Structure 1
Amino acid sequence: MKIFVTGGCGFLGSHICEYYQSRGDEVIAFDNLTKFELSRTSYQVEGSRMYNASFLKERGVQIIEGDIRDKESLMSAAQGCDSIAHTAAQPAMTIAIDHPDLDLTSNVNGTVNVLEAARRYDVPVVSCSSIHVYGNGINQEIQEQEDRFVRTPPAIDESYPIMTGQLSPLHASKRAGELYVQAYTDTYGLKAATYRLSGMYGPRQFGGEDHGWVANF
């Protein structure tokens, strides 16, 4: 198979690329290699930005530098793929508040472009969303105890209410991306799925206060 991974040089994307490459699949990592978020941390920006790209190149993953907001370059790079894993995003709450236009174009316009590529080439797509679709209301259910934080109720199922409490541009853009995935499945019969992810951490993660902060521990 030929797997096309948006945001392939990011933390999550690089692990998806590594997984499929280890199976013997052909993998393309499509990434704009932005330094914007890393510039807000104490990391050595250039080395951190290129670390995952170098890791993937050594394993035979093709790297294409491009931006999901650029529809034509995305379409060209995705041509011939068998499936798409969409991990590219603006993930940070602070950046969304400071730059709502960047958040909108990345998380909404970019996701629609990815869906259009999947529709044009008639391939399935998996889109990565976030716990942010629940809004800030969920935080009111967390209580501090002597040695841990607990939440009542402990489980979140698919009937749990979303977009509650005070909302930010990031909440809005993440939910809008989900709605577009649903719209494309309903309207065009696109084979697509959305996963709501939270608290991910592990090797090759570079985080700061903005996002991925577990890496600092």
Structure 2
Amino acid sequence: MRPDGFREAPVAILGGSGFIGSNLADSLLSDGVPVLVIDNLSRPGVDQNLAWLAQKHGNQLAVETADVRDEDVLAPLLAHARAIFHLAAQTAVTTSLAQPSEDFDINLRGTFNVLEAARLSGRRIPVIFASTNKVYGGLPDVTVREEDDRCVPCDAGIRANGIDEACGLDFCTPYGCSKGAADQYVLDYAKSYNLPTAVLRMSCIYGPRQFGTEDQGWVAHFLLSALSGRPITIYGNGKQVRDILHVSDAVAAYRGVLARIDDIKGQAFNLGGGPGNAVSLRMLIEEIGKLTARNLAIRYDRERTGDQPFFVADTRKLEATLDWKAHVSWRDGVRDLADWLRRHRLEPEPARYVA
């Protein structure tokens, strides 16, 4: 689908049919900003997100089926964008371990292609990149103690505020390496080429339009399993702690970074729910049991490679820079996602998007 033409340059969202991308596209389109979604539609279910966007926003939305690995196709699509949000990625650690070459090509070579397209356009197109907390590795220097249902850092500062951007980078697993190297390329293009770039190192984002699987999108996966009566597998002891952030708050952060990009170019920011939204897997499962009024079947398996026992993002830099904060509490957000899943994922699938 292509509109006859935009009156103004669109915002390009690579991976725009995915979970965060479709929510970001909807937010921009709802404010009258034209959007170009670029996606290879490889992930099951994302065509439903495109159908939703197209039905809701019509000719303000343009869609191109393309892959970030195809530089010859990508460059002309991005040449006239007003800004680029780069969310296209291979997102699973497990897949990266099984297929490291593909992970490298998508996450690192693909990001390089995006940056080169922006640079070679001859225009200072902002590029905002979705990075990950995995750039900090397994955090071996963060010692934790185990309590009944969670891991707790021994360091009082980390307990109070989380992990900040000064934490040393320590890439682990092919996924961590590809995303981490891409993260650094994005930051360097601000230094080397004066391109207005920024990086958001995300913790666990969840919410409507998430097609959660065991390997990625675990909050939605746990909820879907519970609502469908399927067992949930926990890797490790379930005391791993993450700060979970509702997608509406993540979208606000991405848009805030774009609004301030000339002032903050070349910087990385941690993005997550912060200490107030820190939960262990066991805590989340207990809450899901209450929401669904079900006795959940839980299975335990060995810990996964590179899994952090504790990661909570210190978001004070982002809060101070953008006047941003997480508004949705994790319990309210999980309830919101459960309601959406009941309406949209446990019924017959809607009509699929056709290009």
Fold similarity call, TM over 0.5: yes
The normalised TM-score by structure 2 is: 0.55
Report deviation, 1:120. Answer: 2.3
Runs of 5+ consecutive residues of structure 1 not aligned to the other structure: 36-44
Q: Match of 1:129, SS?
A: strand
1:33 aligns with 2:41: yes
2:185 alignment partner in structure 1: 180
Q: 2:16 matched to which residue of 1?
A: 8
Residue aligning to 2:199: 194
Classify the secondary structure of the residue corresponding to 1:137: coil
Distance 2:42 2:12 in 1: 19
The residue that corresponds to 1:79 in the other structure is: 79
Q: Which amino acid counterpart does residue 72 of structure 1 have in structure 2?
A: D
TM-score (norm 1): 0.88
Measure the CA separation in 2 of the matches of 1:158 and 1:181: 16
Equivalence map 1:29-178=2 (5 Å): 29-35=37-43, 45=44, 48-58=45-55, 59-60=57-58, 61-121=61-121, 122=123, 123-137=125-139, 141-151=143-153, 152=155, 153-154=158-159, 155-163=162-170, 167-178=172-183
Judge conservation of contact 2:36–2:63 (CA < 8 Å) in 1. Answer: yes
Kindly report the root-mean-square deviation, in angstroms, between the aligned alpha carbons of the 2 structures: 1.7
Question: SS at 1:84's partner residue?
Answer: strand
Deviations along 1:68-107, one digit per CA (max 9) or x if unpaired, are: 0001111122232100000001110000000001110011
| Deviation for aligned residue 1:116 | 1.0
- CA-CA distance at 1:146 after TM superposition: 1.8
Higher RCO (Cα < 8 Å, 6 or more apart): 1
1:27 and 1:57 mapped to 2: Cα distance? 11
Residues 158-216 of structure 1, C-alpha deviations (whole Å, 9 max, x = no match): 2112207xx21011111100111122111111110001001100000011111111112
Q: Structure 1 residues 142 and 23 mapped into 2: Cα distance closer, same or farther (>3 Å)?
A: farther
Segments of structure 2 that go 5 or more residues without pairing to the other structure are 1-8, 224-355
Aligned-partner Cα distance in 1 for 2:93–2:100: 10
Structure (1 or 2) with the larger CA radius of gyration: 2
Distance in 1 (alpha carbons) for counterparts of 2:144 and 2:25: 35
CA–CA distance in 1 between the matches of 2:180 and 2:116? 18
| Count of residue correspondences | 204
Task: Give the letter for the 2:110 counterpart.
Answer: G
SS at the partner of 1:13?
helix
Rounded to whole Å, the distance in 2 between the matches of 1:78 and 1:188 is 17
- Mean Cα deviation higher: 56-65 or 145-154: 145-154
In 2, Cα distance between the equivalents of 1:211 and 1:20? 25
**2:179 is matched by which residue type in structure 1?**
K
Distance 1:19-1:138 versus aligned 2 partners, 3 A rule: farther
**Contact kept in structure 2, 1:57 and 1:63, CA below 8 Å:** no
Whole-Å Cα distance in 1 between the matches of residues 141 and 213 of structure 2? 21
Q: Percent identity?
A: 37
